[in-house]
Amino acid sequence: MPRQDLEYPKEAHNTVKRYNHLATIPMIGQMGSFDRPSADLGDVLDLYIHGYISARLTNLTRTPSGLPITVSASTVDGLLLSLTPFSHGYNFRSAVLFGHATVVTDPAEKLYAMELITNKVVPNRWNEARTPPTAGEMAATAVMKVKIDTGSAKVRTGPPKDDKGDLENEEVREKVWVGTVPVYTVLGEPKVAEYNLAEEVPKTLVEWRKEVNQDAKEYAELAAVKNLAPEKKKQDDN
Amino acid sequence: MPRQDLEYPKEAHNTVKRYNHLATIPMIGQMGSFDRPSADLGDVLDLYIHGYISARLTNLTRTPSGLPITVSASTVDGLLLSLTPFSHGYNFRSAVLFGHATVVTDPAEKLYAMELITNKVVPNRWNEARTPPTAGEMAATAVMKVKIDTGSAKVRTGPPKDDKGDLENEEVREKVWVGTVPVYTVLGEPKVAEYNLAEEVPKTLVEWRKEVNQDAKEYAELAAVKNLAPEKKKQDDN
């Protein structure tokens, strides 16, 4: 519907070649285990993802081990303003997962994944919305399951850091303000749709919004001033 | 420094293979043109990116045309809560660029790119911080330049949308609240670093923060209720 597609302007000097545009598509995902639903993030989980899954992408997953896939996510938690631009940076959290994707065909697992993903967007939404799905919805909705082979995450917290040379320069330190600008995401005041007939915004949504907003602000503000990483033997220099 | 690296838990059934971890690294980037500094986003620009550029990555760019590279960025502007989970979605903006990357070696161009990237993080920060860079900083900092071959962007705005079947079901419509939760990023109150000696937070930062926060909130709230995309001949169905 109201989606806008923009194309990068082209000029003669651009070497246009064939790329696999399927390779980078934003999708919604959630970690879970259909076989062991009570498993948590300390266990080995699968990643269920939902998005526009084309016939071509589906075909690519039809190999014995599935389609090799990389999934990444990152979020910025603060801007680090140091004495010199070369020590500027971000507080952030980022994760990369490498695995093999297949399309979920078992109806029970597909239903499990849909509920998992929906309730990740807004808690309890699956039960509050019109469910169960119709046969048509089940057929029209594709879910991919990624078996994770390996992955890693990075978290940067704490105030900016400067080199000795600048720290010892009083003139520079009196001139340049140093600190962190916390960055966080806010869920705004819900805006009702024109075709809504329900009396009020669900309580779950109201409470969850308040809680999520408070947690996000607190985390970014704490990360701005304090190193939240556990002690490590070896530390990187930035 | 206070960076935390986490590894995904491994179990016997995980098929661990070799992956190119270099392939997905969060970096800061900014579009610009060194040859035509007054060029704007309607023109063909290069993408300058900064981040941890390893010796291996540098070597990979040493081909006549550079290293083929994909750069993507996306942001969520709202949660779309419709009558059924199968019509739920996000308001979002996302972009993918495909190009060829080389490491910038010309000192003047490198300086141009560093200033461009720094002032993108916080306006005027290059001049307010301790510059120019020392020879050591210039040597230790790598900037990659991506010549863009092609790219595309998608923007989704407006309220949620439901199918006829649900819209005609009064019982469902009276039970399920429908609307949009605007989502936006906030730059919080700057937190001064312990080693700061400067008197006050720079005026540019104070004003820019206010402006950016107001714009972000306004955009998400407007996108929540209004289709901001220009008219198109053919429209996607979601």
Which residue does chain A place closest to B97, by CA atoms? Answer: A8
On chain B, the residues whose CB falls within 8 A of the CB of A190 are 81, 179-181
What is chain B's pLDDT, residue by residue, as a tens digit (238 residues)?
345 555 555 543 343 344 444 455 767 889 999 988 777 766 778 999 987 777 788 888 888 889 988 888 889 999 999 999 999 999 999 988 999 999 999 999 999 999 999 999 899 999 999 999 999 999 888 899 999 988 888 899 999 999 999 999 999 999 999 999 999 999 999 999 999 999 999 999 999 999 999 999 999 999 999 999 776 554 444 4
- Which one of A72, A176, A194, A204 would you mutate to disrupt binding with B, by most B Cβ within 10 Å of its Cβ? A176
B214-222 contacts at long range (C-beta below 8 A, 24 or more positions apart): B216/B184, B216/B185, B216/B186, B217/A186, B217/A188, B217/B182, B217/B184, B219/B77, B219/B184, B220/A188, B220/B77, B220/B78, B220/B91, B220/B182, B220/B183, B220/B184, B221/A188, B221/A189, B221/A191, B221/B182, B222/B157
A20, with CB counted inside 10 A (0-12, 13-18, 19+), is exposed
Residue from the list B114, B196, B230 with its beta carbon closest to the beta carbon of A85? B114
What is the model's pLDDT at position A113? 95
Q: Where are the domains of chain A?
A: 21-225
What is the model's pLDDT at position A129? 96
Give how far B144 is from chain A: nearest CA, Å.
15
Cβ B129–A179 below 8 Å, yes or no?
Answer: no
Give how far A226 is from chain B: nearest CA, Å.
9
A189 CB-near residues (< 8 Å, 6+ apart)? B182, B221
What is the model's pLDDT at position B182? 98
Q: How many CB atoms are closer than 10 A to CB A26?
A: 17
What is the model's pLDDT at position A175? 96
What is the model's pLDDT at position B84? 96
Cβ A198–B122 below 8 Å, yes or no?
Answer: no
What is the model's pLDDT at position B5? 59
What is the model's pLDDT at position A83? 97
* Tens digit of each residue's pLDDT (9 = 90 or more) over A9-35: 554 334 334 444 444 576 788 999 998
Longest CA span, chain A: 71
Gap between the Cα atoms of B34 and B18, Å rounded: 38
On chain B, the residues whose CB falls within 8 A of the CB of A150 are 8, 10, 14, 16, 19
Give how far B56 is from chain A: nearest CA, Å.
18
Contact A110, A48 (CB under 8 A): no
Give how far A221 is from chain B: nearest CA, Å.
8
The position carrying tokens 């016939």 is: A55
B12 vs A72 pLDDT, higher one: A72
Categorize the per-residue pLDDT at A146 as very low, low, confident or very high, splitting at 50, 70 and 90.
very high
Q: How many contacts, defined by CB atoms under 8 Å, are there between A and B?
A: 377
Residue from the list A23, A97, A160 with its beta carbon closest to the beta carbon of B193? A160
**CATH code assigned to B21-225:** 2.30.110.10
- Residues A192-202, mean pLDDT to the nearest whole number: 96
What is the model's pLDDT at position A237? 44
On chain A, the residues whose CB falls within 8 A of the CB of B118 are 85, 88
Asked if residue A79 has pLDDT above 80, the reply is yes
Residue from the list A114, A189, A238 with its beta carbon closest to the beta carbon of B1? A238
Q: If DSSP states are collapsed to H, E and C, what string results for A55-101?
A: HHHHHHCCCCCCEEEEEEEEEEEEEEECCCHHHCEEEEEEEEEEEEE
Asked if residue A168 has pLDDT above 80, the reply is yes
Cβ B179–A191 below 8 Å, yes or no?
Answer: yes
- Minimum mean pLDDT range among A142-146, A228-232, B202-206, B233-237: B233-237
